[in-house]
């Protein structure tokens, strides 16, 4: 491995060789401390078919709200920039995050609930939305609670219930 130094900033760079198949995409993440999130979008053939069924607006909406999923539970919660940290985001908050109108966000959320991309649940007396881990997952593993919430969809999809 070769090392390079940016003379302007002093930042270190490393040269690495990556071998990949022609149908694979490599994405490089730059760690940004504790504030970085790694939301995994499922890449199985079944997941790709599910994602292809979404319109461009719906796919964009999902991509923009996914970083607000809490680790392991996929609950859409605030981060103190959008909504209060740890408090479920409202559809109005999601509209601001996705940079769309409230009626558009409401329509997409309704469609996502019908398609089982999102599910409403009760969190300490508040209504909360969770993302189906068949579409995206924040964290290494889904908590048992999240798997139970989407158990029927996971079973019907023929996916591994642990979603490793």
CATH of the domain at 151: 1.10.10.10
11 in a domain, yes or no? no
pLDDT in tens, the chain (164 residues): 677 787 877 777 777 777 777 777 666 655 544 455 567 777 677 778 888 899 999 999 999 999 999 988 999 999 888 888 889 999 999 999 999 999 999 999 999 999 999 999 988 888 999 999 988 888 888 899 899 999 988 888 777 656 55
Q: Which stretches of the chain are DSSP H helices?
A: 45-52, 56-65, 91-98, 102-114, 144-149, 151-156
- What is the domain extent for residue 93? 36-156
Number of domains forming the structure of the chain? 1
pLDDT at residue 19, rounded to an integer: 77
28 in a domain, yes or no? no
């Amino acid at each position: 491995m070769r090392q390079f130094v940016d003379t302007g900033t002093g930042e270190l760079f490393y040269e690495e060789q990556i071998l990949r198949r022609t149908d694979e995409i490599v994405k490089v993440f730059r760690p940004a401390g504790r504030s970085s999130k790694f939301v995994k979008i499922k890449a199985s053939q079944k997941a790709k078919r599910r994602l292809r069924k979404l319109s461009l607006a719906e796919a964009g909406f999902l991509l923009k709200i996914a970083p607000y999923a809490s680790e392991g539970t996929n609950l859409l919660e605030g981060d103190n920039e959008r909504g209060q940290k740890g408090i479920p985001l409202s559809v109005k908050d999601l509209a601001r995050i996705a940079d769309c109108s409230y009626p558009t966000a409401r329509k997409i959320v309704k469609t996502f609930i019908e398609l089982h991309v999102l599910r409403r649940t009760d969190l300490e007396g508040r209504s909360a939305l969770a993302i189906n881990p068949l579409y995206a997952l924040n964290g290494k593993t889904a908590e048992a609670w999240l798997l139970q919430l989407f158990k029927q969809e996971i079973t019907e999809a023929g996916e591994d219930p642990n979603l490793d």
